[in-house]
Amino acid sequence: MRAWARAGLLTTACLAGTVAWAQAGPSAPQVSTVEVAPGIAVIFGLGGNIGVSYGEDGTLLVDDQVPQVFAQVQQNIADLGAGPARFVVDTHWHWDHALANADFGKDGATIVAHENVRPRLVVGGTVMGIDTAPAAAEALPVIGFSDRLTFHLNGDVLDVIYTGGGHTDGDAIVRWRNANVIHMGDMFMHDLGWPFPDVESGGNIDNLLASLEQAIAMMDAETIVIPGHGQLAGRADVIAFHDVVKAATDRIRALKASGASLQEAIAAKPVTGMVDTSGAFVSDEMFLELVWASLEASGS
């Protein structure tokens, strides 16, 4: 069994426990590391999956989870033989991916994100019923970009790419060109039910589908995909995710176009049984409501 497949049960358990932990308090979460390729690893813990580039040019993290696992994440980085984080790239602003920004910023890391991320961190907000306070100065990105940013680091070229968002309005994917690895952030969650187009954070289901299509075009059969949550995956998994989300969205779109009300659409249960929602963030009904809100926001 490949190393990334062995991580699946752990990451699923961490995902299921993240929101419960945030609501009820910490409970000594596990943090573990899987080496994806030479100089590249993924850290699973409490929140979104952390991508790690490490080597002679320093350490770059993709996302950083939450303060309660900061020390554990640092130890896992050190166990790789890597130095402290030189850069942290936020895939988006949500607390389970970027709440430890301040800790890494105080420790000397430069925070990098799409230009829409900083304003959202400045004001804070509520995600999945959990309030995030306005970010401290150390947590704010000091380098922003609009479309693309490139790092030449540790023998590879890392492209940080804005594909139009979809989960939020500031989603970035990170591609290791030579190693053929892509970190998708929360635009792709593997085997964990429906996506979460966070309409209040500028997310939109049509933008999400378009972003997935752009990402798929960057992949081949050998690409290793780091999802925002869940086990490591490949191109075929992202295609399957895209296709079921598009099929569900088309069903909801058709109901809306027919003149059905939101409550009538919910009663029709158009997406029930299309994915396994046990232990997932987003229920069938919640996904329908999010897609409906996306369509209304875009006037479709």
pLDDT digits (tens, 9 = 90+) for 62-82: 999 999 999 999 999 999 999
The single residue listed with the structure tokens 């020390």 is 71
Q: Which of 4-18, 141-155, 247-261, 271-285 has the lowest mean pLDDT?
A: 4-18
pTM surpassing 0.95? no
Which residues are CB-contacts of 28 (< 8 A; sequence separation ≥ 6)? Answer: none
Q: What is the pLDDT of residue 193?
A: 96
What is the pLDDT at residue 128? Answer: 84
pLDDT at 148 over 70: yes
Mean predicted confidence (pLDDT) in 192-196:
97
CA angle 60, 62, 68 (to 5 degrees): 100
Q: Give the residue from 104, 73, 65 showing the smallest Cα distance to 86.
A: 104
- For the domain made up of 3-244, give the CATH fold: Metallo-beta-lactamase; Chain A (3.60.15)
Residue 243's pLDDT is what?
98
Cα 147 to Cα 163: distance, rounded to the nearest angstrom: 7
What distance in Å separates the CA atoms of residue 112 and residue 57, rounded to the nearest whole number?
Answer: 17
Q: What is the mean pLDDT of residues 201-227?
A: 98
Centre a 10 Å sphere on the Cβ of residue 172 and count the other Cβ atoms it contains: 28
Beta bridge partners of 158: 151, 176
Helix (H) or strand (E) holding 159: strand 156-161
Residue 21: pLDDT band with limits 50, 70, 90? very low
pLDDT band at 300; cut points 50, 70, 90: confident
Sign of CA dihedral 216, 86, 65, 45: positive
Length of the chain: 300
Q: What is the pLDDT of residues 95-116, one digit of tens each?
A: 999 999 999 999 999 999 999 9
Q: What integer best gives the mean pLDDT of the chain?
A: 92
The domain ranges of the chain are 3-244
Helix (H, G, I), strand (E, B) or coil at 232: coil
Q: What distance lies between CA 140 and its chain's CA centroid?
A: 18
